[in-house]
Each structure stands twice: as structure tokens, then as C-alpha cells.
């Protein structure tokens, strides 16, 4: 089958960038991204591509090139489903907040709704591609819905998980380590796999495109994120030991990272990992293991989350203890709210939990982040349901200028590793603060000696 029309249901952090790159690299394929969120589609169609709803370096340029040529954003979901040969499902799969598996398993209601809508609308055979991160054997459920509620149409279900890191998503899409496609081992399934391989082969070398059965593909995504998160929790566990013994975690990380068997990536000690994937995927893995009675396996992976939560609490506790065991009515400035640099995504950002802890201690929090809005910060705090929206608004002040945010502060906490923070005039910031002036570097991005020479009381992670 030669693919000429693709539809993607979901215009979020995965669907939008992925489809933009496919459209750019495959000008012969018409790509339509659909979403029921009218404002989100309106933002994707904004004439000024700098205003698109997702900030990723290089993304606005790709959208500007392809949009209107063969890349389209629409709220007409049924039309896009009807016309497409391949339908990507890239909708949200949040962790359940109720019932069986609460707090651990993925809520698949949006996936099921997509499957039922595809079944209702489709009049011709379709390839349906799982792009959302899903528990193992979700494809089986999707196929059951499609085969039993459709119009006699034949569906092939493929798993094509994303391995994107926010902040480098465009680079990851243009030059991927691998493309993974899982499907049935039937002749029809292999034909569907081949059709999707041909799409990616327009810019990805064939030896980087891996094909597996659908279950291996689904589990590979969860496993990859679990292994990456495990490395972060491992180095963060060592950071606490370093602080007690007088070792420096950056030096330890460099020493072990030079071992070719270990490598240097994901060995940066910090206040903890965030983002939409790591915690959710590990909890999914824990739930799957428990459902099969593999309690030791579940306990092993759950410890990665426990360590990450501990690191966030430890960081906020360090701020309180260092500021003479009270932050009540003190101004604490946060530099950064996004969970990592070069993105406006705040999901599961460590900053949210540190802010919540300090507001519980009656601190006044001032924030500067170059890409995150005040409304998003407040909604993140409101989501925790620790206190009223009114109380959150009183406790949190957002600034558009970092120097104003730091003026009069008792302490500064760096919570996102934005490159611009290293370029600031720290002498000017120090001069504007209460003395002694404390700086808590939750991402270890600044030079301690330089800041201490200015007069800061510098507190990094693991030193």
C-alpha cells in the first residue's frame, strides 16, 4: 500500500511535532492533525508560527514550511478519519485517579473513544497506529473494539511508540536513534508494517527502523523510560550520600560516566525528574508486574519513584533548614517552572512540588520562567488540591523579568536548567537581595566558586 493520506488524532506534545516532521519530509503525503480542543487547533493555525501551542526549538520553522501545503490542523475529526489510510492515535493517557489501579494504571478512556469513533466512521480498510504511550496489550483491546463495532472494515493495529525528549523533540524526530514499529505477524499485519516503514524511510535509514511484534513494541517504550528514570534516581540517591561524606556528585558522575559500560548520559544530579512520561510509565510497569503477581519486580521499579519523590522533599526541606528553619513571609524566588529547559511543558515538574511544600511553610514564592505562563503555574498548583485557588494566587507572584523576580529575595532556587540563567549578571542580583543571600541550585548548572566569590551562600545538589 502506498500511503498518501495520514490523520493524527491529538494535537499535543507528541502528535503535533511528529506530524509536522512527517509532513515536511513527505511532501507527497497529506497530513491532517485533528483535535476537539478548538483553541488548540486555532493556535496551531496561527499565522505567526511563533505562537503555536508547543514550544520546541525548530518546530515553528517546520510548521511554517509545511502548513497549508500538506500539513493541516482541523477540528473535523470524522472527515479526517474517513479520508485517511493511516490513523495515528496520539491522545492523552493520564494515570487513573479513581477505581482499580488508581494512581498507577493509565486511563484509556480517550483511546477507547478514538477506537469507537474510527469504527463508526471508517468505510474502507485502515491502518491504526498507537502513538500514545500505552500499557502492554492495549492494541488487543483496540482491535477488539474495531472488529466488533465497525462496518465490516478490516483494521490493522500497529504500535509505533515515540522516543522523544522534550526540548530536543525536533532533533529526535529528524535524526532518531531508532523507529520502532510493532504489528501482527500475519501477511496483512506485515503489509501494514511495511507501509509505515516506507513513510519513515523517506528520511530515516532503513537499519534504524526496527520491526517487532506489537507486544514487544508496547513494552519497549515503558522499559526505555523506566531505565532512563532509574539512572536519574540512582545518581540522586548518591547525591545525598555525597553531601554527607564530603564527596562531590558531579565528580562522581564524571568518573563513572567515563566507564564505557555506563556512559555519561542521564547522570546529572538534580532536584528530580518530571515530565509526562517517566513517572506515569514506571507506575504502569509496576501495575503490570503486580497484575501478574511479580511483586519483587514491581517493588524494584516503584523504588525509582520513591527516590524521586524523596529528592524533591529533600530539596524543599534543605531550603527551610538553611533559612534558619523558617521561610514564613520570606520571598523565595524560583528560576524556572517547566520540567526541563527548551519546553513549556510543566507536567510533573519538580518545581510544582517544591513550591507546594514551601507555600505550606507560608513562604512567598516569586517565579520567572521564559516560556510558562502565570495561568499555567497556578493551574499546576490548583491541581494538587492542597489549598484554595485564592490562597495559591496570594502565595505565588509571576514576573516577566528575572531581575525583578529576584529583587528583595531571601533565597533563589534554580529549578529548570534554562541556558539563559548562566548568562545573568549575578553580582547585580546579589546586590538586590536580602543578606545573607542564599542560592539553591537544583540543577547544578552554575559555578559554585564564582557565586561564592560574589557573596552567595551556594547550595548545589550533592556537594
Catalytic residue IDs = 277
- Residue 8's DSSP bridge partners are 33, 88
Query: Given CA atoms 358, 359, 364, 370 in this order, what sign does their dihedral have?
Result: positive
Nearest-CA neighbor of 421 among 352, 335, 342, 351? 335
- In Å, what is the CA distance from 338 to each residue of 136, 168, 309, 387, 436? 29, 14, 17, 21, 28
Nearest-CA neighbor of 334 among 321, 344, 319? 319
Greatest pairwise CA separation for the chain in angstroms: 74
- Residue 418's DSSP bridge partners are none
List CB contacts of 431: < 8 A, sequence separation 6 or more: none
Preceding amide of 49 cis, omega within 30 = no
List CB contacts of 246: < 8 A, sequence separation 6 or more: none
Query: Alpha carbon 368 to chain centroid distance?
Result: 20
Q: Give the span between the Cα atoms of 357 and 415, in whole angstroms.
A: 14
Amino acid at each position: 500500500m502506498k500511503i498518501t493520506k495520514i490523520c493524527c488524532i491529538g494535537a499535543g506534545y507528541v502528535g503535533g511535532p511528529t506530524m509536522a516532521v512527517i509532513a515536511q519530509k513527505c511532501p507527497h503525503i497529506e497530513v491532517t492533525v485533528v483535535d476537539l480542543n478548538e483553541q488548540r487547533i486555532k493556535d496551531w493555525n496561527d499565522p505567526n508560527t511563533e505562537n503555536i501551542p508547543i514550544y520546541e526549538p525548530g518546530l515553528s520553522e517546520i510548521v511554517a514550511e509545511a502548513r497549508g501545503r500538506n500539513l493541516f490542523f482541523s477540528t473535523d475529526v470524522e472527515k479526517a478519519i474517513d479520508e485517511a489510510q493511516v490513523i495515528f492515535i496520539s491522545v492523552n493517557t493520564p494515570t487513573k485517579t479513581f477505581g482499580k489501579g488508581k494512581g498507577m494504571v493509565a486511563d484509556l478512556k480517550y483511546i477507547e473513544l478514538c477506537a469507537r469513533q474510527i469504527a463508526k466512521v471508517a468505510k474502507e480498510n485502515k491502518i491504526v497506529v498507537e502513538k500514545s504511550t500505552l500499557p502492554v496489550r492495549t492494541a488487543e483491546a483496540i482491535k477488539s473494539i474495531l472488529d466488533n463495532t465497525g462496518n465490516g472494515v478490516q483494521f490493522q493495529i500497529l504500535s509505533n511508540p515515540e522516543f522523544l525528549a522534550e526540548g530536543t523533540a525536533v532533533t529526535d524526530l529528524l535524526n532518531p536513534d531508532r523507529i520502532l514499529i510493532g504489528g501482527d505477524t500475519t501477511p496483512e499485519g506485515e503489509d501494514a508494517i511495511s507501509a509505515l516503514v516506507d513513510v519513515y524511510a523517506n528520511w530515516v535509514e532503513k537499519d534504524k527502523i526496527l520491526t517487532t511484534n506489537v507486544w514487544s513494541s508496547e513494552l519497549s517504550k515503558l522499559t526505555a523510560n523506566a531505565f532512563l528514570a532509574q539512572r536519574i534516581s540512582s545518581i540522586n540517591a548518591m547525591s545525598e550520600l555525597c553531601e554527607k561524606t564530603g564527596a562531590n556528585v558531579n565528580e562522581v558522575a564524571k568518573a563513572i560516566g567515563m566507564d564505557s559500560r555506563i556512559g555519561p548520559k542521564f547522570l546529572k544530579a538534580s532536584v528530580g525528574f518530571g515530565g509526562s512520561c517517566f513517572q506515569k510509565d514506571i507506575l504502569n510497569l509496576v501495575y503490570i508486574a503486580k497484575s501478574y503477581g511479580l511483586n519483587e519486580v514491581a517493588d524494584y521499579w516503584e523504588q525509582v519513584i520513591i527516590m524521586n519523590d524523596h529528592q524533591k522533599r529533600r530539596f524543599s526541606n534543605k531550603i527551610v533548614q538553611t533559612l534558619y528553619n523558617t521561610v514564613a513571609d520570606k520571598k523565595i524566588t524560583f528560576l524556572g517552572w517547566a520540567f526541563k529547559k527548551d519546553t513549556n511543558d510543566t507536567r510533573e515538574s519538580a518545581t510544582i512540588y517544591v513550591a507546594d511544600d514551601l507555600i505550606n511553610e507560608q513562604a512567598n514564592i516569586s517565579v520567572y520562567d521564559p516560556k510558562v505562563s502565570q495561568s499555567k503555574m497556578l493551574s499546576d498548583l490548583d491541581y494538587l488540591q492542597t489549598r484554595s485557588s485564592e490562597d495559591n494566587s496570594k502565595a505565588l507572584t509571576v514576573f516577566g523579568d528575572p531581575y525583578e523576580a529576584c529583587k528583595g529575595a531571601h533565597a533563589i532556587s534554580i529549578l529548570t536548567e534554562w541556558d539563559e540563567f548562566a548568562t545573568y549578571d549575578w553580582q547585580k542580583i546579589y546586590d538586590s537581595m536580602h543578606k545573607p543571600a542564599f542560592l539553591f541550585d537544583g540543577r547544578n548548572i552554575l559555578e559554585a566558586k564564582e557565586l561564592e566569590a560574589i557573596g552567595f551562600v551556594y547550595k548545589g545538589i550533592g556537594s
